[in-house]
Structure 1
Amino acid sequence: MHSAIWTAVSLLLIVEGLGPMLLPKVWKRGLLTLISSPEKLLRRFGGAFVVVGIVIFYMMHR
């Protein structure tokens, strides 16, 4: 179980690091847009990401 968690964390770090590594200007612009977004919109996006993550997790472990 621990190796699965570390695998997930490592994949998350790889994916999250690709943006600033490959397209730093676009990534910074995206962050500025994100920071200026209303909290309600950020909550919706966060909720959508959680739901998609749960669905993917469920499909992988059926």
Structure 2
Amino acid sequence: MWPDLLRAFALVLVIEGLLPFLAPERWREMMQRASVADARSLRLFGGALIAVGVVLLQFLH
């Protein structure tokens, strides 16, 4: 199980690094907008991402 978790973490790092690598100015703008968003909006967005990820994992498994 640990090797799979490490692979998943490595993939997250690769995916997270794509936007700042390919479009650093656009990434900076998005981070500035996120920094002024209220906590409720960020929490809802994070929850939606988690839900989509869980559904996708179930679909692929």
Question: What TM-score do you get using the length of structure 2 for normalisation?
Answer: 0.91
Aligned to 1:36: 36
AA at the equivalent of 1:16: E
RMSD: 0.9
SS in 1 for 2:37: coil
Aligned to 2:47: 47
Q: Deviations over 1:5-59 (max 9, x none)?
A: 1111111000000111111110000000001111111111011011011111111
Aligned length: 61
Question: What TM-score do you get using the length of structure 1 for normalisation?
Answer: 0.89
Identity, in percent, stands at 34
Where in structure 2 are the equivalents of 1:1-62 lying within 5 Å? 1-61=1-61
Dislocated runs of 4+, deviation >3 Å: none
AA at the equivalent of 2:3: S
Q: Residues of 1 paired with 2:9 and 2:47: CA distance? A: 20
